[in-house]
Amino acid sequence: MQVLCKASNAASDVRCHVCGQGFLVYWVRTAADVRGAMRTEIAQMLRGHHEGAEGSHVHPAGEFHLPVWHGDGEFSAAALMGAAALVEI
């Protein structure tokens, strides 16, 4: 499953356990247990951003994907299926 994460100070689906930064998460609709497992994976990735990083900007600016997507963010499956391309943050 592909997930698109966007940093957000207004609302969040997931928060970094290290710094508290919130992220909105866009994904294809799946079962609750699959989403729960994906939230755990996202939390681990967010924690990993802090390893060896210095300063306040440890998370990717803007948006990032799981698994990694190197194309234009608004055309990722997660963004298209989750309607993220329609949301301005």
Q: pLDDT for 3-53, tens place per residue?
A: 888 899 888 889 999 999 999 988 777 788 888 888 888 888 899 889 877
Mean pLDDT of all residues in 64-88: 54
- Domain of 59 in residue numbering reads as 3-86
Strand partners, 4: 26, 65
**Who's near 28: CB < 8 A, 6+ residues apart?**
1, 2, 77, 78, 81, 82
pLDDT of 86 over the 50 cut? no
What's the total number of domains in the chain? Answer: 1
The gap from C-alpha 56 to its chain's centroid, in whole angstroms, comes to: 18
If pLDDT is split at 50, 70 and 90, which confidence band does 67 have? low
Q: Are 58 and 7 in contact (CB under 8 A)?
A: no
Say what the pLDDT of residue 69 is.
Answer: 47
Give the global pTM.
0.69
8-state DSSP, 25 = E
pLDDT of 2 over the 80 cut? no
